[in-house]
């Protein structure tokens, strides 16, 4: 193809290109929170908008007060329920395991000391104690995690108890045949009891009592957050009513008045209910559990002292203390009686009424009589009158065994009274919290609804 003369064809790269479009900046996207904040700020510039904001805040405050109260009191009520239905019964069962084991050892030693023909009542008492300890251990195992401290102690007791009863049966068999080996078996059984079984039972009791203390503390913890929210909610409601009065010259807004009344009821119910519960649970601990703890130890000390007293005659000086200077069982008896006297003194101080104090006084008198008769028995034994000493220890009249039974009976009555005191006070404490979580939630919903109705009443004046 030919081109016209003097016409120059532009190179391809110089030919005109289509214009490049210019990018239009896109405004940044605003978050929902930012948009909402702008709307709130815009609403706050008008009185209807301000009323809507205030109404929403007030309703939220009242609902939050009710919800937190329901949550906190439900937690306290659950802990109080654990005190009544779980912790204290398990603690009492652990103490009963300890007492049953100590009493079984005492009965076994007394029966052995009586001779080849073990008295039927002592044999039955021993069997009853072993069955009771076994039953309580099964119950405790069913309510305790095996990996806990209590679970380990229960396992130890379940393993050692059959070994102990086996040693007792061997001692009895040899004793019936008149073989001196029976004395060795009964002493070894007592050693297993005092060195393994009773310490494990004591640790179990301490663990369960510690758990009881934790539950009691949790039930008595003050609901500070609920109280603070209640005060804030009431203050906000009073402020809003005062604001409404100053702007409209109206004394009452019925919706706000109902919300204030509902919040006041919840706050008073919370303060009074928890104060009563806290007082009753404190009384259960101070006037019940502390006395129970002291009395349990006193009864155990008396049982151990009785077992050691019997074994003093069984061993007849064959077992000495580590220094080789004194009879071990007599030394242990003296220590147990000293501990018993200290526990009884403390129990007398803790007793807050005649029904609790009188049995303790009788136990103190019986202990004094027991010690006098024991000294008489030791004098007879040291003088070579073994039969006279044995009669003084296990005889039917004027014996240390008779004094021991008086101590044990008095302590049993004192324990029963203090257990009743604890149960009554703990149940009263739990009852003081009853209905409060549900009531607080219901009244909070009522208060929030009333607040919205009251604010809407004011808003209707602007339409």
Cα dist from 327 to 57, 382, 428, whole Å: 80, 12, 51
Angle value at C-alpha 323, between 317 and 327, nearest 5 degrees: 20
pLDDT digits (tens, 9 = 90+) for 61-118: 999 999 999 999 999 999 999 999 889 999 999 999 999 999 999 999 888 888 888 8
Return the pLDDT at 12. Answer: 55
Q: How confident is the model at residue 18 (pLDDT cuts 50, 70, 90)?
A: low
Q: What residues form DSSP beta bridges with 327?
A: 320
pLDDT greater than 60 at residue 126 = yes
Q: In residues, how long is the chain? A: 463
- How far is 369 from 400, CA to CA, in rounded Å? 8
Return the pLDDT at 449. Answer: 93
Closest CA to 150 of 211, 216, 198: 211
Are 377 and 389 within 8 A, CB to CB? yes
Cα dist from 133 to 119, 201, 257, 286, 432, whole Å: 22, 10, 62, 28, 35
At 389, is the secondary structure helix, strand, or coil?
helix
Are 73 and 274 within 8 A, CB to CB? yes
pLDDT digits (tens, 9 = 90+) for 151-190: 999 999 999 999 999 999 999 999 888 888 888 899 999 8
Percent share of the chain, pLDDT over 70: 89
Return the pLDDT at 40. Answer: 53
Are 227 and 266 within 8 A, CB to CB? no
Residues in contact with 313: Cβ distance below 8 Å, sequence separation at least 6, in sequence order: 113, 381, 386, 389, 390, 393
Return the pLDDT at 26. Answer: 55
pLDDT greater than 70 at residue 439 = yes
pLDDT digits (tens, 9 = 90+) for 243-255: 887 877 666 788 8
Helices (H) and strands (E) in the chain, counts: 15, 0
Return the pLDDT at 251. Answer: 63
**What is the CB neighbour count within 10 angstroms for residue 401?**
23
Are 223 and 77 within 8 A, CB to CB? no
pLDDT digits (tens, 9 = 90+) for 338-386: 999 999 999 999 988 888 899 999 999 999 999 999 999 999 988 889 8
Return the pLDDT at 315. Answer: 81
For tokens 């040899």, name the residue.
174
Return the pLDDT at 25. Answer: 60
- How far is 22 from 268, CA to CA, in rounded Å? 70
Return the pLDDT at 6. Answer: 52
Are 133 and 104 within 8 A, CB to CB? yes
Angle value at C-alpha 213, between 211 and 218, nearest 5 degrees: 95
Cα dist from 125 to 94, 109, 121, 129, whole Å: 19, 12, 6, 6
Lowest-confidence pick of 16-20, 330-334, 428-432 = 16-20
Return the pLDDT at 397. Answer: 85
Distance, C-alpha 197 to centroid of its chain: 24
């Amino acid at each position: 193809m030919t081109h016209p003369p003097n016409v120059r064809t532009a190179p391809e790269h110089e030919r005109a290109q289509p214009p490049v479009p210019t990018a239009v900046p896109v405004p940044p996207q605003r978050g929902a929170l930012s948009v909402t904040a702008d709307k709130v700020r815009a609403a706050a510039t008008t009185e209807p908008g301000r009323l809507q904001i205030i109404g929403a805040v007030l309703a939220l405050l009242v609902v939050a007060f009710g919800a937190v109260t329901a949550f906190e009191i439900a937690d306290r009520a659950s802990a109080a329920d654990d005190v009544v239905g779980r912790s204290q019964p398990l603690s009492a069962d652990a103490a009963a395991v300890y007492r049953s084991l100590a009493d079984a050892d005492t009965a076994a030693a007394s029966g052995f000391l009586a001779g080849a023909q073990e008295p039927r009542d002592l044999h039955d008492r021993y069997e009853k104690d072993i069955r009771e300890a076994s039953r309580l251990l099964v119950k405790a195992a069913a309510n305790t995690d095996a990996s806990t401290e209590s679970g380990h102690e229960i396992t130890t007791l379940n393993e050692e108890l059959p070994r102990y009863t086996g040693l007792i049966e061997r001692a009895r068999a040899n004793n019936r045949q008149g073989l001196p080996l029976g004395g060795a078996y009964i002493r070894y059984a007592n050693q297993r009891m005092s060195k393994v079984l009773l310490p494990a039972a004591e640790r179990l009791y301490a663990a369960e009592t510690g758990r009881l203390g934790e539950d009691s503390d949790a039930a008595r913890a003050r609901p500070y957050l609920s109280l603070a929210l209640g005060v804030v909610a009431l203050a906000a409601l009073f402020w809003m009513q005062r604001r409404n009065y100053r702007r409209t010259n109206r004394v009452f807004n019925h919706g706000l008045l109902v919300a204030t009344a509902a919040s006041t009821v919840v706050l008073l119910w919370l303060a009074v209910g928890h104060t009563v519960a806290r007082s009753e649970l404190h009384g259960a601990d101070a006037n019940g559990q502390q006395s129970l703890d002291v009395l349990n130890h006193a009864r155990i000390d008396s049982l151990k002292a009785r077992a050691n007293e019997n074994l003093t005659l069984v061993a007849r000086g064959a077992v000495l203390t580590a220094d080789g200077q004194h009879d071990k069982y007599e030394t242990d008896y003296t220590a147990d009686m000293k501990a018993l006297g200290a526990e009884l003194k403390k129990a007398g101080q803790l007793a807050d009424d005649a029904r609790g104090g009188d049995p303790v006084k009788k136990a103190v008198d019986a202990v004094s009589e027991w010690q006098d008769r024991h000294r008489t028995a030791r004098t007879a034994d040291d003088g070579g009158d073994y039969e006279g000493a044995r009669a003084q220890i296990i005889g039917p009249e004027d014996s240390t065994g008779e004094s021991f039974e008086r101590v044990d009976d008095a302590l049993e009555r004192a324990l029963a009274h203090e257990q009743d005191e604890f149960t009554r006070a703990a149940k009263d404490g739990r009852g003081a919290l009853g209905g409060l979580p549900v009531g607080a939630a219901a009244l909070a919903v009522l208060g929030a609804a009333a607040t919205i109705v009251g604010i809407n009443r004011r808003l209707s004046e602007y339409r």
